[in-house]
C-alpha cells in the first residue's frame, strides 16, 4: 500500500496559498476542500492542506507559530532538472512566494533553491542526479 503525506498549514489567505501551491505544480483536490480548507495535491501521494487559522486551531491546542519569524521545518520537493528548479522557484515567487530566502546550493550532482510560501514556510526545490548519487555510494 502506498502511503500518503499531507502537510497541514495554517494560512492567512486561502486563495493566495492555493495559487502558490499550484505554481509549485500542484492540482486542487475539491474532495478535501471547503470554505475553510483547501487541498492541493503535489503528486498522487503528497497533499498540502491549507487552512484558515480558525480551522487549524480545531486540530491543536498549541499556539500557531509565525513561519516568517521562526524556522521549524524545511520541506524538500524534487523536480526533474536543474532548469526545472529555477522555473519552479520563478513561478512560485510570481504567485506570491519569495525566492531564495536561503542561499542557493550547487553541489554538481545536486542543485537546490528555496522559495518561501506566502505564510513563511520554506520549500527547498531540488534536483539530484541519482546516477551520480549511486556512483558515490558505490565508491564509499
Residue 2 has pLDDT above 90, yes or no: no
Q: pLDDT confidence of 132, banded at 50, 70, 90? A: confident
Which residue, chain included where needed, has cell 487552512? 51
Q: Which set of grid coordinates corresponds to residue 82?
A: 536543474
Residue 126's H or E segment, with its range, is strand 122-128
- pTM higher than 0.85, yes or no? yes
User: Per-domain residue ranges for the chain?
Assistant: 5-62+73-139
Q: Give per-residue pLDDT as tens, 31-69.
A: 999 999 999 999 999 999 999 999 999 999 999 999 999
DSSP 3-state of 65: coil
Residue 30 sits at φ, ψ, to 5 deg, of: -65, -20
- Looking at the DSSP bridge assignments, the partners of residue 28 are 40
Tell which CATH architecture fits domain 5-62+73-139.
Answer: Roll (3.10)
Q: Across 45-121, where does the E strand assignment appear?
A: 46-52, 74-78, 98-99, 105-106, 110-116
Amino acid at each position: 500500500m502506498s502511503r500518503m503525506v499531507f502537510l497541514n498549514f495554517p494560512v492567512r489567505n486561502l486563495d493566495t496559498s492555493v495559487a502558490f501551491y499550484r505554481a509549485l505544480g500542484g492540482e486542487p483536490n475539491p474532495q478535501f476542500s471547503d470554505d475553510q480548507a483547501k487541498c492541493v495535491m503535489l503528486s498522487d501521494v503528497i497533499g498540502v492542506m491549507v487552512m484558515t487559522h480558525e480551522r487549524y486551531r480545531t486540530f491543536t491546542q498549541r499556539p500557531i507559530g509565525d513561519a516568517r519569524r521562526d524556522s521549524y521545518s524545511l520541506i524538500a520537493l524534487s523536480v526533474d532538472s536543474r532548469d526545472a528548479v529555477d522555473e519552479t522557484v520563478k513561478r512560485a515567487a510570481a504567485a506570491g512566494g519569495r525566492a531564495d530566502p536561503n542561499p542557493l546550493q550547487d553541489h554538481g550532482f545536486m542543485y537546490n533553491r528555496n522559495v518561501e510560501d506566502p505564510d513563511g514556510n520554506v520549500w527547498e526545490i531540488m534536483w539530484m542526479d541519482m546516477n551520480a548519487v549511486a556512483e558515490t555510494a558505490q565508491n564509499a
